[in-house]
A and B are shown apart, each in its own frame.
Chain A
Amino acid sequence: MNENEIVVLKHLNEIGKISDDFRQEAKNLNLSQSTYASAAESLVSKQLATKKINITQSYQITARAENYLKVKLPETQLLNAVSRGAKTLQEVIKDTKMNGAEVNVALGIAIKNKLVITKKENNQLIIEKNTLENPVEIVFEKISKNEKLDSHHQEYLKVLLERQLIALSEYEEIRHSITVLGKQTIKDLKNSKTQISQLTPTMLKDGSWKDADFRPYDLTTVATPMQTIAKKHPYKEFLNRIRYCLSGLGFREVDSSLIELEFWNMDALFMPQDHPAREIHDVFRISNPAVGQIADEKIYSKVYDAHLFGGNTGSTGWKYKMKKEISSRILARSHDTGISARELAKNQNVPDRVFFISKAFRPDQIDWKHFIEFNQLGGYIADENITLSDLLGILELFAKEVFNAKKVKFAPNYFPFTEPSVEIYADIPGRGWSEVGGAGMFRPEMLSALGIEHPVAAWGLGIDRLAMLSIGANDIRQLHSQDLDFLKGKNGRMD
């Protein structure tokens, strides 16, 4: 029972018999009608009280008739004027505040109800009173004062209704009375302290909390959803966990742009310009503008030489002349390896360990596991002594730390920018053996053109499928879901 229910129950107990209408009782207890009603309703449902509903009819003075309560009905006004000595219509107009038209109407009613009689004298209408009082007026007043009506008043009620001076309204009275169980409860309450549902500042000030008995909660229903909640995005948090993991392993994060020159995206990676992976269906080209301006002519000419005859590496190269109009095309980054090329050109310290999480865009079918925009986790290790064995060690470490893999295996593969090239497979809980990415030692032709003579081991891993597993998404597009309930209800996790 809450406090209000206790107050109402006690009140009903004091009354002892059936209460008045709840509106009146609410007033007596200084509670709002709705508070009283809901408390009483709750008592009824607990069988501590019963309720009785009475529908009563009553007559109410209509709005248009309210003024007559002060000045009396028109025919009464006329009757009174005549009683005071007025004889003609002019004299009645003078005596009352009614105008000619109103007096005419009043006279018509007064004659009809036999309050006055008229006769003609010297061509003038003379009014004489026929009764002392207007019975309609008496009933009208009784209704206004809510007094009881006698049976002989009924005919006047009809008149008042017809004249729309009163209206019939229905009224629902709800009365309550305490039950035996209620009375027992009161007794029990008296034996225990008051149950408190909420500690208040007042209780703290006056010390009444010391005597208070705090109402226990129903723990099966106390936990309910919040109306609104603010949360971080599960996919973004997933990416952050990877960042923390890699920075913990001694890798420094490098930023990347979404838009790239074809030179950095492809040429600088020793990918020949006629390479099948450079065709129009493998990259998104930008149209406004479509062409950029290569900034570093020195690097451009070294890359050009590498493609043509291998530069200074002893390689045969691709034996063709790079076209600048192809190199200068602007595209949406199609893979993350170009970021390595840019960073290697800029920063040639050794040892250096770099990583980046970057967006890549590629024309592809769109379905539950493919989308044309995705994230890649890439990076490299530049070190005078880095070897393929070191690279395999790093990849094994990533697979276990980042992908939570149980086992790792490697297979040879082909990428134009690495030699040897490695494909990584990991046995991931919940997913089984999966291809997780590619890696390799950057080709000497690529490195030399960027001014680097030490070996660099590089890798690029797909992370969106892993993110799906981590977030519990069954469609890759859910990683960027616009459904707010999904975002509120699902949390990123890494077991």
Chain B
Amino acid sequence: MVSVIVDKNQLFKLANVKLNNAELEDALLSIKCSLEAQNAQTNQITIEVTGDRPDMLSVAGIARSLSGIFEKETGLAKQNYLPAKWKLIADEQALKIRPYIASAIVKNAKLNDSLIAEIFNQQEKVAHTLGRKRTKVSVGAWDIEGLVGPIHFRLADDSETFVPLKSNTTMNMEQTIATHQRGKEYGHLLPNGKYPVLADSKKNIIALIPITNSQHSSITTKTTEFGIDAEGTDFQAVNSALSLMCQDFIDLGFSVEKMTVVMPKQTIQTPDTQIRTMEIPLKYIEKRLGFALTFQTAIDCLKKTRLNAIKKNDNLQVQVPSYRSDFMHQADIVEEIALGYGLNNIKPNKLHTFTKGSLSETTLQENLYRDFFVGAGYLEVSNYVLTNSEINNKAKVQEELIEISNPISSDYHGLRTNLISGLLKTISENTHRSYPQKIFEVGKVVYHEPKLEEKIATGTNACCLSAHSQASLSEICSVLYELSLMKRAKLTLKPFNSPQFIENRACIVEWNGMKIGIAGEIHPQVLTDFKIEMPICTFEIKCII
């Protein structure tokens, strides 16, 4: 989800609706948005937009969808572009770095501070989502006043300088990469020593692509004519980024003039506003949605989502404007129809086939052990899988944690390999409570397993722990004895020493000759480190073998 801040009154004006808060909330939900926050004083509202709809990262874009759902304006948005007058000449060397470029000129613009802020915000968000942090597409806008055509997209030479946006220092491209905030952020996208720029015929640098614009050509409230550009690695993405910005300006009532882009091998007019068509059988739509619908209903639904369609034999021919970039498959059309139909107008079907339900073997085993331990008088604990090495070290656990490389908290930087250490922590948190404290956990642990493709396996362990003044190995082994009877396994205990336990007071637990775990009296040093002043006996075994 991406959040955008818009003016509520402007949204209503553009969409030609007037809604109270509850209606607005519901209406936004029906177009894949959600109302996140409202500022009663300024009338500004924060709206979250799903990541697949870069064309809705603006007040005009959201209004376009809203007016469709309320049937104020349906079908494709009007795309009355003025014919191209300006030229943009793209040089081969620059295209090697950003293979596609598209541009347009906005005229008769009336800008105020909040609209300028919104334009910048939209450009940031488009470059971040559709543009994948500017790797796929970057966008910009620049005041055309004083610039002399044609515009060039070329590599800058070392002597050329400009004042980057929000700066007051003249610098060359290399310095911009090294010192400017955007340079540091996005400099890695450019090959060493090569700087694609937009410049006019008088060598005024307009922008260093895809880093920053020049301060001189920045847009202000006085600007009435400005250029917009998009460039990147995928033409469809570049063109839809430019298209969606142009469409917003058209919807705001400005004029948009196309740009002639001259490349070494071809010359095109941008944005390419060609309507893309997709054919889809009505039967496919019905099979996916689960109810019958007529061609006319399907077409009406699509119109409400600001698409258009006509019947073509048994198929729907759907028209997709260039500013919509979210259609990969026919399934995407089905969603638009569902959206236009209204999900809450669809009658939910009841289950009508029979299948056999079951619990997993892990769940059945876990429950068997849990029932047994509660019967044996132990209280169930459920600790987090995430833990830290301090707890592991205190418990003198032999295996290392499965470590997280990007933890956000030192308390939780790894996944547990055992349950004992967590239960010792539990006891240490309850030293003020009365004894005996008898607790158990049946839970997941992880361990190295090179045979698996993910190299780390998940297992289910069971651990019982008893803390009181008489806690002993024989006490805890009695539990194992009874458990073995229940599992019809032959219990064998073999000598075992580890710093975790008192010497000669621990053992390896075997069932039918196979090692399943360990048992013992916790070493006084371990208890002291956990600030526990009570003897503890424990065992931990694999639950599922």
Contacts and interface: CB of A to CB of B under 8 A. Distances in A.
- A and B co-occur in one complex: yes
Interface of A: 227-233, 235-236, 240, 243-244, 246-261, 264, 274-277, 280-281, 284-290, 292-295, 310, 313-319, 330, 332, 351-353, 359, 361, 363-364, 366, 372-373, 383, 385, 387-390, 392-397, 409-414, 419-423, 441, 443-445, 455, 479-480, 482-485, 487-488
B409 A484 contact: no
16 contacts: A233-B382, A235-B382, A243-B359, A250-B351, A258-B385, A259-B457, A286-B403, A319-B236, A353-B355, A372-B409, A409-B344, A411-B343, A414-B52, A441-B288, A480-B382, A484-B437
A484 B426 contact: yes
A412 B348 CA distance: 15
B12 interface: no
A167 B524 CA distance: 48
B438 A230 contact: yes
A286 B357 contact: no
Contacts of A243: 359, 363
B335 A276 contact: no
B380 A233 contact: yes
Contacts of A455: 287-288
B362 interface: yes
Interface in B331-349: 331-332, 334-335, 338-339, 343-344, 346-349
Contact of A410 (B32, B332, B335, B343): B343
B194 to A, nearest CB: 22
B313 interface: no
Report the contact-size class of chain B (Cβ under 8 Å from the partner): 35 or more
B360 interface: yes
B8 to A, nearest CB: 20
Contact of B454 (A257, A316, A317): A257
B408 A484 contact: no
B359 A420 contact: no
B74 to A, nearest CB: 17
Main SS at interface, chain B: loop
B358 interface: yes
Contact of A412 (B329, B338, B403, B404): B338
B455 A292 contact: yes
A394 B351 contact: yes
Contacts of A359: 385, 444
Interface stretch (B250-258, B260-268, B370-378): B370-378
B343 A231 contact: no
Given A259-B446, A276-B128, A411 B288 contact: no
A229 B430 CA distance: 15
Given A228-B377, A260-B454, A485-B433, A383 B353 contact: yes
Contacts of B236: 319
Contacts of B50: 413-414
B335 A421 contact: yes
B356 interface: yes
Interface in B452-509: 452-458
B453 to A, nearest CB: 4
A287 B453 contact: no
A414 B32 contact: yes
Contacts of A485: 430, 433
Contacts of A488: 379
B329 A314 contact: yes
Given A230-B378, A253-B358, A330 B346 contact: no
Given A249-B357, A314-B329, 7 more contacts: A236-B370, A240-B367, A259-B458, A276-B129, A284-B407, A412-B31, A483-B429
A488 B133 CA distance: 51
A330 B455 contact: yes
Given A286-B405, A444-B329, A231 B358 contact: no
A193 B368 CA distance: 51
B383 interface: yes
B454 A259 contact: yes
B290 interface: yes
A331 B545 CA distance: 25
Given A250-B354, A351-B353, A414-B53, A233 B381 contact: yes
A288 B329 contact: no
Interface string B403-440: 11111110010010000000001100110011011110
A385 B288 CA distance: 9
A147 to B, nearest CB: 50
A412 B339 contact: yes
A435 to B, nearest CB: 9
Given A233-B382, A253-B359, A411-B29, A315 B346 contact: no
A363 to B, nearest CB: 5
Contacts of A363: 406, 408
B455 A293 contact: yes
B386 interface: yes
Contacts of B335: 412, 419-421
